[in-house]
Amino acid sequence: MRANLVLLVGTLDTKGHELAFVRDLLRKQGLEPLVIDVGSWGPPVFPPDIDRDEVFRLAGTTLTAVRECGDRGEAVAAAAQGVARLVTKLGSERAIAGIFGLGGSAGTEIATSAMRQLAFGVPKVMVSTLASGQTRPYVRGSDITMVFPVADIAGLNRLSRTALTNAALGLAGMICLPRDSREIIRSSSRPVVAATMFGVTTPCVDCARHVLEGESVEVIVFHATGVGGQAMEGLVRDGQIAGVLDLTTTEIADELVGGVLSAGPDRLEAAGRHGVPQVISLGALDMVNFGPRATVPRQFIGRKFHLHNPSVTLMRTTPEENEGFGLYMAEVLSRAQGPVVLLIPRRGLSALDAPGQPFHDPDADDALFSTLTWKLAAHPHVRVESRDEHLNDPSFATAAARAMMELLPLRKGL
């Protein structure tokens, strides 16, 4: 029997009529909507299944305290924290078939906080007035579907009914996917390896992927643009990854220096915490990413830049920054609960870091190499292998793939 519990998250004081409309649509599709009220101020339009008192209790506060504070931002933050904890708790007790949310900026922040607690593959639909703009703060590395309602979500009318109906039936369709279709999606029994890639490391990762696929390994490649790293780390935490081929760790440079493609402070953490085998390299740590040249922060004036395209400006990293990357990576890898192989490409870290290319700087690279070698020498579970090759050399990529194959049998339960 398939799960049919659908979580419906929204503020029943301001969006109650719209939530009731969606609830009734989902019921007609044979689903069991469980309404969670995350409102703070006015009375709910109808009684929810889980009230706002429980949401704020799980956030470590009370509805009364939130109202007395009178700060809308604090109320939204508390509701987001409480509903995230609630969804985690519900997911441990019952199978959740899907989750639906609707709202403006506050409702989107709250509902997507809950959605991100659910594993990849659990359908997540958010009808949001922010869906036509910058959605990364809400989606991050998850598989949330955001729907733009065109008009504001303020009452039921021909536009809102259409948008809500399409979104609700879309969620129902994802949940009610025919059994044979789900079996096709999940039919492969091959071990899954997550790999990270950038344009300037594509030759390396493509070569390693082909080697692994020849050994009956399924490789999922993530674009290391911040959200890609977040998505990979999320799948590792969900237990869907057997090994990590993290050859492009450039997001660490953006996090530590201040670029625009950071994956957050937890980058590189998930595999180590969960004992997932890792093959790590230093792809594109020779660069920090910014937007158009005019957007580069003033403190970097005088640095070496390369215009990748009109929308992307790359900045060469310094020896001091590379030493910092080495210290950060060594600290994280030293805590890993599973096996780690660190491959050092002594001839260069990206297509731009090679003789004759704009970011070729052996001294800057060596600051990274020597720091990692020194700091990891005392950690026997991390094997550091220094290779006299460029990252994009086929021999380096093949060595990375072979190292991954050696580690996969060490994955418990594989």
Question: Are 135 and 242 found together in one domain?
Answer: no
Domains contained in the chain, number = 2
Q: How far apart are CA 228 and CA 232, in angstroms?
A: 6
221 and 353 both lie in a single domain? yes
Q: What confidence score (pLDDT) does residue 413 get? A: 39
**Residue 42 phi, psi (nearest 5):** -75, 170
Of 196, 193, 245, 183, nearest to 216 (Cα)? 193
| Domain C-terminal end among 161, 180, 199 | 180
- Give the pLDDT score at 414: 37
pLDDT of residue 59: 94
* 336 contacts 377 by C-beta, under 8 angstroms: no
Residues 172 and 201 in one domain: no
Residue 203, class by beta-carbon neighbours within 10 Å (0-12 exposed, 13-18 middle, 19+ buried)? Answer: middle
d(CA 401, CA 397) in angstroms, rounded, equals 6
143, 161, 180 — which closes off a domain? 180
Q: Note whether 145 and 47 are same-domain residues.
A: yes
Query: What residues are paired with 124 via a beta bridge?
Result: 99
Domain of 249 in residue numbering reads as 188-410
> Are 192 and 176 found together in one domain?
no
Q: What CATH number is given to the structural domain containing 44?
A: 3.40.50.12020
Please report, for the domain that includes residue 289, its CATH number.
3.40.50.12030
Residues 6+ apart with CB under 8 A from 120: 142, 143, 234, 235, 238, 240
Do 146 and 197 lie in one domain? The reply is no
> Same structural domain for residues 172 and 230?
no
In degrees to the nearest 10, what's the CA dihedral of 34, 40, 41, 43? Answer: 20
pLDDT by 10-residue block (mean), the chain, 414 residues: 85 94 95 95 93 94 88 90 95 93 92 93 94 87 92 88 95 80 58 94 96 94 92 90 97 97 94 96 97 94 92 96 98 96 98 96 98 94 96 98 90 41
Q: Are residues 241 and 360 in the same domain?
A: yes
DSSP assignment of 46-114 equals S--SB-HHHHHHHTTS-HHHHHHH--HHHHHHHHHHHHHHHHHHHHHHS---EEEEEESHHHHHHHHHH
CA distance 45 to 233: 39
Looking at residue 135, its pLDDT comes to 86
List the Cα angle 200/204/209 in 5-degree steps: 125
Q: What is the pLDDT of residue 108?
A: 93
Kindly state the tokens that stand for 171.
Answer: 């969620």
For 236, residues 6+ apart whose C-beta sits below 8 A from its C-beta are: 194, 244, 270, 271, 274, 276
126 and 144 in a common domain: yes
**Residue at which a domain ends, from 128, 156, 180:** 180
What is the Cα–Cα distance from 126 to 147, expressed in whole angstroms? 6
* Rama region for 316: left / alpha / beta (φ>0; ψ in -120 to 50; rest): beta
Verify that 349 and 377 share a domain, yes or no: yes
How many C-beta atoms surround the C-beta of residue 36 within 10 A?
29
Q: Where are the alpha helices (DSSP H) in 116-201?
A: 136-139, 158-175, 179-185
Beta bridge partners of 32: 5
Judge if 168 and 224 occupy the same domain. Answer: no
pLDDT value of residue 310: 87
**277 and 370, same domain (yes or no):** yes
Query: What is the C-alpha to C-alpha distance for residues 270 and 261, in angstroms, rounded to an integer?
Result: 19
For the CA atoms of 33, 39, 42, 45, the dihedral, rounded to the nearest 10 degrees, stands at: -10
Amino acid, res. 58:
L
What the block records as the tokens of 334 is: 């030293």
